[in-house]
Amino acid sequence: MWKHFLSKLPKKSLKSESVDLGRGNSDSHSPNASSNLGPGRPNSVPRRTSSVVFPASVIAGIEPLISFKDVPSSEKMNLFISKLSLCCVDFDFRDPTKNVAEKDLKRATLFELLDFVSANPPKFSEPAILALCKTCAVNLFRVFPPNYRSNSSQTSENDDDEPTFDPAWPHLQIVYDLLLKFVTSSSLEAKVAKKYINHQFILKLLDLFDSEDPRERDCLKAILHRIYGKFMVHRPYIRKSISNMFYRVVFESEKHNGIAELLEIFGSVVTGFALPLKEEHKIFLSRTLIPLHKPKSLGIYFQQLSYCINQFIEKDPKLASTVIRGLLKYWPITSTQKEVMFLSELEEILEVINMAEFQKVMVPLFWRIGCCINSFHFQVAERALFLWNNDQIVNLIAHNRHVILPIIFPAVESNAQNHWNHAVQNLSLNVRRMFSEMDDVLFLACHSHYKEEQEKINLESEKRKEAWEQLETAASLRPPVAGNIAVLVMPLATSITC
């Protein structure tokens, strides 16, 4: 049976082939391609919607079913290529009853290849690198079905949906492990391999990060990280390509399954940036990372994003004010969950910011914190008041109390008197007490000014109320009117409380 299966494979030299990673599925859907998959398989076989298949080839004179230990060392690389060519045949894994024997043969062959690459073989020849890249392209590179991607308007509704898993994952996992072992192998020379692990290959890998399967994204993260470390020539292109993916998330789709993993890669990349930081890296922070706070799906990748930004600030503390201005620019107004996340990130930044950078942004920053303290959502108000539990932040406030206290005092005083939540009221009273102990004279001055402002507001409210009453009285004394003459309506029908 195996001989009959192998006799169906075209025998063609690998030297005449090239890895065309950008090619579509036209070859894979031809009648010849489908007839090569095994005896008795019909020509019109439904294939995986996500598969990209290339013609298979076997090195003439080499039997791919032979074990590596049964051939001399001089023939092992040729056998390696033959086994890779055997694995270029694609099967439909949606139906577990189809081609069971062929699938088992391919799986066993992939395990053999994985063991061979893991055993520190001799230097990989150029045809071997070509064959492995081609095998990975055939088995891994695919277009995901439409249900993998959600519309931006449905992002919040679909976050809890069960992810869609590829039925071929047990097979794909071996191919991913093979590629990872290959990239990290000391037998692979980057100068030779960069010809095949090129920009097109990397771009196809990046497209796979949109998979809904977290196991696949973890494999891709490990592989891309090793490629970034081994192929220095590709580093600028990888950074640029990832930036473009982030731009699409911010300005177009607002959803991508692999943003968290890509940010994890960048977190480790940023730690390796040389000082002083290049202008290119600062632009990436301001134009790419900071705008990533805008999408509704922020919660999915917030921890990784916050880590990347903190790494930038540790590298260059002067960037702290830039980041805070960016957070204030994209501050959420209607999403309380995002507000809590923004406040948490602010606290991390304020813990490491220096005094000079803090003074550049303290006025708009504490105006926004004051709005959060006055929030009717108790979690937002509570999280904002928790900032005063941080000694570093209290120290920054104490040194700049003459500017900050007049901004923040009305919000704290209003909360202490009127907020509906008792926990928020107690926290507001604690902050009020801290201000009093910090500078009693300034506290009394702010309190006096607050009372004057409240009296002015109450007076204006009384005047407005009297004016409405006078208008209502005047309107009630006039006789009824008909036609298209404007009439005065009740104030309650037109007033809106903010």
The residue ranking higher by pLDDT, 318 or 65, is: 318
91: pLDDT strictly greater than 60:
yes
At 482 the pLDDT is: 60
8 Å CB contact between 323 and 305: no
495: pLDDT strictly greater than 70:
no
| Each residue's pLDDT tens digit, 405-448 | 999 999 999 999 989 999 999 999 999 999 999 999 999 999 99
Between CA 16 and CA 10 the distance in angstroms is 13
At 466 the pLDDT is: 92
At 52 the pLDDT is: 32
117: pLDDT strictly greater than 90:
yes
At 22 the pLDDT is: 42
At 162 the pLDDT is: 67
Amino acid occupying residue 6: L
Tokens read off for 201:
């290959």
8 Å CB contact between 137 and 53: no
| Each residue's pLDDT tens digit, 282-316 | 999 999 999 999 999 999 999 999 999 999 999 99
Residue 487 pLDDT class (50, 70, 90 cuts)? low
> Once rounded to an integer, what is the mean pLDDT over residues 29-46?
37
156: pLDDT strictly greater than 60:
no
Find the DSSP H helices in 374-439: 378-385, 391-399, 401-418, 422-438
CA atoms within 13 A on the CB side of 317: 9
- In sequence order, the β-bridge partners of residue 11 are 58
* Length of the chain counted residue by residue: 498
10: pLDDT strictly greater than 60:
no
8 Å CB contact between 297 and 254: yes
Between CA 131 and CA 73 the distance in angstroms is 19
57: pLDDT strictly greater than 90:
no
Supply the mean pLDDT for the chain: 83
pTM of the model: 0.78
> Once rounded to an integer, what is the mean pLDDT over residues 183-193?
93
Beta strands in 271-415 (DSSP E): none
Residue 493 pLDDT class (50, 70, 90 cuts)? very low
11: pLDDT strictly greater than 90:
no
Long-range contacts of 387-396 (CB under 8 A, 24+ apart): 387/343, 387/346, 387/347, 387/350, 388/430, 388/431, 388/434, 390/347, 390/350, 390/351, 392/350, 392/351, 393/347, 393/350, 393/351, 394/434, 396/350, 396/353, 396/355, 396/358, 396/362
1: pLDDT strictly greater than 50:
no
Amino acid occupying residue 465: K
330: pLDDT strictly greater than 90:
yes
- Which one-letter DSSP state was computed for residue 36? T
Between CA 372 and CA 253 the distance in angstroms is 29
Q: How many of the other CB atoms lie within 10 Å of CB of 352?
A: 13
